[in-house]
Structure 1
Amino acid sequence: MQTAAPAPRKATRPRADALRNRERIVTAARELFVELGPDVPLDDIARRAGVGNATVYRNFPDRDALVRDVVCSVMDRTAEAARQALAETGDAFGALERFVHAAADERLSALCPMVASTFDENHPDLVAVRERTEQLVEEVMQRARRAGQLRDDVGFGDLLLAVAQLSRPPAGTGCLSADRFIHRHLQLFLDGLRAPARSVLPGAAVTLEDMRKA
């Protein structure tokens, strides 16, 4: 008599409370990385998240995994801000402005250095979210160009580098004290992006390829 093969096991979905704990850990890590830098103790992250140390290590086997998840989360939120800008009707440059201010609030400048110094920047998760974000931001810019509102000599890299440089000093250097200046300075920069251009920019526009090589 032939024995029936065992039924395949169904993949179990994480419980809602487990997903909430993971999200709280990522949020707490993001806040502390910005405030104190990437070397903040994991115990401090657990306390900020309101979970036990074991919960942090159960979700993230090492610091690299946690940093990667934080950076991917920030880039996902940046991509979502770009999607919202694309969904807007009316003033294309106004949508670009709102995206830039939203991206600045994600504190990219404090987190992006971790990509190069902490773990593999070519990890598949990071590459996927980076490419998705780049595509959406380029679409936001292209729509403003087609409307004749964004000067033609500005590239993707010009925009993102300026947002990073103007939005925050490096993590752990009192960056939160500069909050009151950020959106003021970003608006000055955005006014310089409007077409028609009032000057000729030196050098060439910074492209996606330039940023990847850097």
Structure 2
Amino acid sequence: MIPIRDELPTRRFPVVTVLLIGLNVAVFLFQALFDASSDWFFLKFGLIPALLWGKVQPLQGGFSPVVTLFTSQFVHGNLLHLFFNMLYLWIFGNNVEDILGRFHFLLFYLSCGLTAGLVHAAVFPDSLTPTVGASGAIAGVMGGYLVLFPYARVIVMVFWGFFVQFLRVPAAVLLGFWVILQIVYGLFSLAIPNYGGVAWFAHLGGFLVGVLWSKIAAGRFYRRSYW
């Protein structure tokens, strides 16, 4: 199931969501100047768990490993990686921003991404593979959406062989199915490191923070702060 859009209107323009999408796209275009597949770019800006925990020496001219917990959130491996992350951010982020307010949504987003990176690094502390992408932060946004709008209808595209069908499904069903997949693939990755080339536990870590943050913050910020 690939989500296409939801049916929830927003009260105001999602400034932070759009700015985050713009920043991610801008960074990807900047990557293209150095060759989007360049190992140098990923090694410099990506999160490398072994570096974060001090198991190996930092690269000369590289950022502090702590800084890469943030920089890695804005780097993507390829155009498809960027496209789907930004699609999910647009579908789920605008409504979560609408509830939390712009400033708190930005803190929420970055905190989910930060925690996602830490969880991945904790599960694979010896990994020398750079981890990049906004997926952990966006997983947190999806967790927030699940808490705030569990019964919202999301239009999804389902492939049945050569046929495509569009369905309206409750957010709780779509996101619940997504969580199950992350758990299953995450368990596979414990036996086969970097299974599928995806940081499954980063997704789960970001999602959990998104759920907890939204449960705590929703009542406090609901219909209050625009920033």
Tell me if both proteins adopt one fold, taking TM over 0.5 as the criterion.
no
Bigger proportion of residues as helix? 1
TM value normalised by structure 2 = 0.32
Bigger RCO (CA 8 Å, 6+ sep): 2
Task: Flag the structure with larger Rg.
Answer: 1
TM-score, normalization: structure 1? 0.33
